[in-house]
Amino acid sequence: MEPQKQSKPVWGVFWMIVTGLMFVGVTAVVKHVGDAVPAAQAAFLRYVLGLVFLIPMIRPILSARLTRRQLRLFGIRGLVHSFAVILWFFAMARISIAEVTAMNYLTPVYVSLGAALFLGERLPPRRLAAVIVALIGAIIILRPGLREIETGHIAMLGTAVFFAVGYLIAKQLSGELSAAVVVGMLSITVTIGLAPFAYAVWVTPTMGQLGWLFLVACFATAGHYTMTLAFAAAPLTVTQPVTFLQLVWAVTLGAVVFGEAVDAWVVFGGAVIMASVTFITWREALARRRVTPAVNEAKV
């Protein structure tokens, strides 16, 4: 926790790099499990198995004396995050790791649009242009009419929307509460939110599948924690560009481990979206508003 207290940019970059590595680990394991376990059940098991990490967080959560407003915000975030992770697990079994990672970059763009439409924030011409450029990046990745758009692509579009709603709330809560409380409450609310969906599609998992999903829980919980530390340590204009490394790692992972072809259009489209997101974040900093979440936050 010492880096968080120092609030130095170098620590923000460090924690964001660690966050990216953790989430690449999540991606690799979920891709390995594939369709063997239904998406809703796999997401639920990831959170149930991860509850063991709540033990050291119980005391901070109880000590936080959460207000009714904070509990309501945590509940809303848990619900939308539940929908997001179901769609994310579904997409991971159907499209390439690079495509999933690149389309995750749309979340901050949706946040900017949501803040303008529902929170009354201004959307100046330059920011609007950056949003349009990001959407063009998504079109480059999907290439409608030139390739088949799969259900996994549609699922990822929905994933980014739900994550955008959740992380507008998360950024606000991370400024009020410690990382342990924010991460712990996310685990509790999402586990509850996923339970009925998992029950509806339940199949008996093998011990091997449980082991892999526990590893997902390890990587994801660590990633959420280090991501919160990055938020507290440095402004988003410092940490945001670091997130592009995750696309590089995802492309490498897909090609080397899973034999996925390297699609230059996906990489190019992801780079276009990432450039737009970085510009939006920079403009937010100039306006002294910090609503756009880090790309890495759009994870399970």
Q: pLDDT, tens digit, for every residue of 177-188?
A: 887 888 889 889
Report the distance separating Cα 298 and Cα 231, nearest Å.
Answer: 14
For the full predicted model, state whether its pTM sits above 0.85: no
Q: C-alpha dihedral over 208, 213, 214, 216, to 10 degrees?
A: 140
Q: Is the pLDDT of residue 293 over 70?
A: no
Query: Which residue would you say has higher pLDDT here, 268 or 293?
Result: 268
Q: What is the mean pLDDT of residues 26-30?
A: 89
Q: In 3D, which of 217, 191, 239 has the Cα closest to residue 25? A: 217
Comparing 31-40, 98-107, 146-155, 232-241, which segment has the lowest mean pLDDT?
232-241
Comparing 59-68, 237-246, 251-260, which segment has the lowest mean pLDDT?
237-246
User: In the prediction, which pLDDT does 295 show?
Assistant: 55
Residue 214: both structure tokens together: 């526990």
3-state SS, residue 75? helix
Query: For residue 262, what are the CA distances in angstroms to 135, 155, 249, 251, 265?
Result: 22, 21, 12, 7, 9
Indicate the pLDDT class of residue 3, thresholds 50, 70 and 90: very low
144 DSSP β-pair partners:
147
Q: In 3D, which of 137, 149, 105 has the Cα closest to residue 266? A: 137
Q: Where are the domains of the chain?
A: 2-297
Maximum average pLDDT range among 43-57, 119-133, 273-287: 43-57
User: What share of the chain has pLDDT > 90, as a percent?
Assistant: 27
Q: Is the pLDDT of residue 117 over 80?
A: no
CA atoms within 13 A on the CB side of 81: 28
User: In the prediction, which pLDDT does 210 show?
Assistant: 94
